[in-house]
Amino acid sequence: MSSILEVKGLSFKYDRQRVLEDISFEVTEGDYVGIIGSNGSGKTTLIKILLGLIPSYEGQIKYGKDILKDNSIGYVPQHGAAIDKLFPATAGEIVATGLLSKKGRLKFYSKEDYKKVDTVLKRLKIENLKNKRIGNLSGGQRQRVLLARAMIADPKVLILDEPTSALDPEIREEFYKLLKELNDEGVTIILVSHDIVSIEKYINKILYLDKRLVFYGGYDEFRHSKEMARYFGLLT
Ligand code: ADP
């Protein structure tokens, strides 16, 4: 399996506060990585750096060649974060904006673009939402629209930040299942979550962060580790 992302000796501080300390890990094609850690442990900062939103870090971040060439990273923000409820757009229109980053200066949609919207809505089983106003959708529906918006550009890697924090458990479970389907189709997934119990069925690797890297490796190995005990506050 080829390497999708290699991080070496990554450190970062906001002003004087050190937030990430010497983080190294590698993600390979097809991985489904869960990032866990308590509030303030640096998860969001790490994701922002991986997305290129914070340039001033120390260390190295290397994406696989195809990933950078095709601008092939999809991002799903925290629940609802990107959408103003009063924004007068339909779900279909929001999904189409996911194509804009791949266009040049002329930002017009083509017939093929509209076809892509239909295809991705179908793939995520939300064709029925296409003409609905985004503000009228439930939390779970809105989250799927944001996922469709990320998927329409056909990314090889999908990065998600606490995508289900405001959803009720059944809807959350469905969302995680959907992510697993995408992963089975070959999309590499990096998912920040508060809720290790609901993602453990799906992930193959875990990255446990507490400013430094407490654990990185296979989930099965994690289950039997002292770090797992620490995570659940069961230190013996
Ligand atoms: P997590 O996502 O794990 O909750 P964050 O990456 O959001 O952690 O935050 C890590 C630490 O960095 C926290 O102590 C937080 O207060 C601090 N922090 C986050 N964003 C900023 C910022 N823009 N400026 C200064 N400090 C920040």
- Which parts of the chain are beta strand (E)? 3-14, 17-28, 32-36, 58-63, 73-76, 157-161, 188-192, 205-210, 212-218
Higher pLDDT, 165 or 148: 148
- Cα(109)–Cα(229) distance, integer angstroms: 51
- Pocket test residue of 16, 17, 19, 191 for ligand 1, highest count of atoms within 8 A of CB: 19
| pLDDT value at 213 more than 60 | yes
What single-letter DSSP state applies at residue 15? T
- Cα(61)–Cα(24) distance, integer angstroms: 9
Residue 165 pLDDT level (bands cut at 50, 70, 90): low
Read off φ and ψ for residue 159, nearest 5 degrees: -110, 125
Ligand 1: list residues with CB < 6 Å. Answer: 14, 19, 37, 39-45
Provide, rounded to the nearest whole percent, the portion of the chain with pLDDT above 70.
Answer: 90
Q: What is the pTM of this model?
A: 0.90
Provide CB contacts within 8 A for 110, sequence distance 6+.
Answer: none
HSE value, Cβ hemisphere, 13 Å, CA-based, for 17: 7
Q: What's the pLDDT score for residue 16?
A: 86
Atom 23 of ligand 1: nearest residue by CA position = 14
Atom 15 of ligand 1: nearest residue by CA position = 40
pLDDT digits (tens, 9 = 90+) for 21-59: 999 999 999 999 999 998 899 999 999 999 999 999 999
pLDDT digits (tens, 9 = 90+) for 129-150: 999 998 888 888 888 999 999 9
Q: Which two tokens stand for residue 177?
A: 């299942």
In the reported structure, the alpha carbon of residue 54 is separated from the centroid of ligand 1 by a whole-number distance in angstroms of 12
Q: What's the pLDDT score for residue 104?
A: 65
In the reported structure, the alpha carbon of residue 42 is separated from the centroid of ligand 1 by a whole-number distance in angstroms of 6
CA 60 to chain centre: 20
Place of tokens 């509209």: 114
pLDDT digits (tens, 9 = 90+) for 74-107: 998 876 555 666 678 899 999 999 988 776 666 7
Atom 27 of ligand 1: nearest residue by CA position = 14
Q: What's the pLDDT score for residue 169?
A: 80
Q: What's the pLDDT score for residue 79?
A: 63
Give me the chain's average pLDDT, please. 87
Note whether 153 and 101 are within 8 A (CB). yes
Number of H helices, E strands in the chain: 9, 9
In the reported structure, the alpha carbon of residue 18 is separated from the centroid of ligand 1 by a whole-number distance in angstroms of 10
Q: Which two tokens stand for residue 2?
A: 């080829």
| β-bridge mates for residue 53, sequence order | none
Tell me which residue of 188, 134, 143 sits closest to 165, measured CA to CA. Answer: 143
Higher pLDDT, 86 or 62: 62
- Pocket test residue of 44, 159, 194 for ligand 1, highest count of atoms within 8 A of CB: 44
